Amino acid sequence: MEPKWLEWAKELQALSQDGLNYVENVFDKERYSRISDIAAEMMAHNSDADLDYIKKLFNGQEGHATPKVDVRGVVFKENKILLVKEKLDGGWTVPGGWADPNETPSESVEREVFEESGFIVKAKKILAVYDRKKHGHVPPHPFHVYKIFFLCELTGGEKTLSIETDGVEFFKEDKIPELSKARTTPKQIARMYELFKNHESATDFD
């Protein structure tokens, strides 16, 4: 679970964003902006993050605050799961990333799998919808994130590295490499195998 200070800071940021989106009074705008600054200061004080960087992140958020959506493509071949190696931290992960505007969730995950691995896939089923903060991801994220895991059918393409990945492989369940825990956890990999083996399983969700 995330620390309480981070939960409070996220809530303050969301309240500030909502307030700035709806308020018209100039003095209230100043107050909501100050709330955003306090949230940023809390995050910077309790982490290694740079205060100016966090403020820029917060200032880039507009409209009503809502969770961000991360999509992940679960692809199996001969009972092996597809993982890609992230350049940023050297860990492996189920391919995926942020869902983009003007795409359906399934379109986003199919695009992400292709961009990161070179494989063409078709999204077939939602295996799980998780709240990132409840699943042991490290480090914590400054915004609230939902993660959607899609079971995807491999239809074509070939292994290809990308600007984000420098490894693409299928792994046996007992040979999972060191994971990028900011993106995928060992428990999630184990659960994806369980859901894949039991085709009648209902979708996991928090």
Closest alpha carbon to 75 in 27, 37, 29, 122: 122
Range of the domain at 149: 68-205
Whether residue 168 sits in one domain with residue 96? yes
Whether residue 171 sits in one domain with residue 85? yes
Residue type, 179: L
How many angstroms separate the first and last alpha carbons of the chain? Answer: 13
CATH number of the domain that 165 lies in?
A: 3.90.79.10
* pTM assigned to the model: 0.84
Q: Last residue of some domain: 59, 77, 103?
A: 59
Whether residue 180 sits in one domain with residue 116? yes
Q: How far is the C-alpha of 12 from the C-alpha of 36, rounded, in Å? A: 7
Q: What residues are paired with 147 via a beta bridge?
A: 70, 130
Total of domains in the chain:
2
Whether residue 92 sits in one domain with residue 178? yes
Q: How far is the C-alpha of 20 from the C-alpha of 54, rounded, in Å? A: 17
Instruction: Give the pLDDT of the chain (206 residues) as one tens digit per residue.
Output: 789 999 999 999 999 999 999 999 999 999 999 999 999 999 999 988 899 999 999 999 999 999 999 999 999 999 999 999 999 999 999 999 999 999 999 999 999 999 999 999 999 999 999 999 999 999 989 999 999 999 999 999 999 999 999 999 999 999 999 999 999 999 999 999 999 999 889 999 99
Q: How far is the C-alpha of 170 from the C-alpha of 91, rounded, in Å? A: 14
Q: How far is the C-alpha of 13 from the C-alpha of 34, rounded, in Å? A: 10
Whether residue 150 sits in one domain with residue 178? yes
139 CB burial (10 A radius; 0-12, 13-18, 19+): exposed
Whether residue 125 sits in one domain with residue 97? yes
Q: What residues are paired with 121 via a beta bridge?
A: 154
CA dihedral angle for residue 84, residue 85, residue 87, residue 89, rounded to 10 degrees: 130
Residue 115 tokens, joined: 């961009």
Closest alpha carbon to 184 in 67, 69, 72: 72
CA 63 and chain centroid, separation: 20
